[in-house]
Structure 1
Amino acid sequence: MSRRSGGRIVEVFMKRFVGFIVIAFLLLGGGLVVWAGGKGGKKRQGGSRPKDLKIHHRVPILGERSKRRIKGKYIVVFRKGAQENDLRSVLNLRVLEERGNKVERRFSTVGFKGFAGTLSPKALSLLQQNEKIAFIEADQRVKLDAVASWGLDRIDQPSASLDGRYQPTGTFQGTGAGVHVYVIDTGIRKTHTEFSGRVALTKDFTGTGNANDCNGHGTHVAGTIGGKSYGVARGVTLYGIKVLDCNGSGTLSGVIEGINWVRNHHE
Structure 2
Amino acid sequence: MNNYTNDNTTRRYKAHVSTVGTTQLHLRSPYIIAWWSAAFPGFGHLLLSKYLRGYSLIIWEVLVNNMSHLNQAIIYSFTGEFDMAKEILEPRWLLLYLPVYIFGIWDSYRTTVDMNKVFILAERENANFNSYVIGALEINYLDKRRPVMAIIWSFFTPGLGQLYIHRVVTAIFIMILMIVFVYFSNVLIAVHYLFLGEISQATAAINPQWFLYMPSQIGFAVYDAYVNTVENNNLFESEQRKFLQENYQQYRVKIPASDEVN
Q: Does the pair score TM above 0.5? A: no
Higher strand share: 1
Task: Say which one has the larger Rg.
Answer: 2
TM range (shorter): under 0.3
